[in-house]
Amino acid sequence: MQHQATNKEPKTFTDILRTTFKSYAEVIAVFLNRLGLRPNTVTFLGLLGHFVAAYLVIRGNITAGGIVLLFLAPLDFLDGTLARLRGESSRFGAFIDSVTDRYSEFVILGSLLVYYLNQGNSLGSILVYLTAAGSILVSYIRARAESLEFDARVGFLSRVERYIILIPCLIFNLPIYGLWFLAIFTNFTALQRIVHVRQQAYQAGSEGE
């Protein structure tokens, strides 16, 4: 994913992964660049792949959908790396990347919702709803906090962690267990971020007195 540079130490597992696998991502990005692929092409290929995975899930091919997502996961890092390699990084590119990430995640959650509705599984449907709600809040709280110049890059379950939980559960055809975990801890992460912002607001207020 594309982000503006920051001097702060990584606070999330996503940041740690990005730092750890940076050299590998750069090697793959060089290869993709030689193929003539542009960053936005990689981004939209990832989105298209999510629709393929969603179709498989709706059809009941849960394992196949999970395998497709497993192969798509690296694209989440490669578009930003490729953009920097080509000197095409931009705020609009970062915006498109973030929006596409949200669509990709909701496409998969939507497919699980359709799957459980077709099965008449009310519990599964409710868990998908709670997971989607938590995911939206995690992203929204960070965006809103940063618009007010607060830092909200904390929390137990950001997008990468959500995929690390969901993909294996799909591959082993156990999505309900992943959804239980996500339904609880996405909302817990949202609360973590609210508390973190509240602490910063309180500290800023105290310093201003």
Domain count for the chain, please give it. 1
Asked if residue 97 is part of any domain, the answer here is yes
Tens digits of residue pLDDT in 38-84: 888 888 888 999 999 999 999 999 999 999 999 988 777 787 788 88
Question: Does 35 or 63 have the greater pLDDT score?
Answer: 63
For 99-122, the pLDDT digits (tens) are 998 999 999 999 999 999 999 999
The Cβ of residue 182 has, within 10 Å, a number of other Cβ atoms equal to: 26
Specify the residue for token string 């095409």: 88
CATH number at residue 121: 1.20.120.1760
Residue 8 lies in a domain: no
Average pLDDT, the chain: 87
In a domain, 3, yes or no: no
How many angstroms separate the CA atoms of 32 and 162, rounded? 27
Rounded distance between C-alpha atoms, residue 156 and residue 136, angstroms? 15
Among candidate residues 67, 72, 44, the one with its CA nearest the CA of residue 57: 67
Tokens encoding 123: 């519990």
Whether 101 is catalytic is yes
**CA–CA separation, 166 vs 189, rounded Å?**
16
Amino acid 108 reads I
Could you tell me the residue range of the domain that residue 128 belongs to? Answer: 13-203
| Catalytic residue, candidates 79, 97, 101, 151 | 101
Confidence of residue 3 (pLDDT cuts 50, 70, 90): very low
Question: Which three-class secondary structure state does DSSP give residue 38?
Answer: coil
Q: Which residue has the higher pLDDT, 10 or 58?
A: 58
User: Which segments within the chain are labelled E, that is strand?
Assistant: none
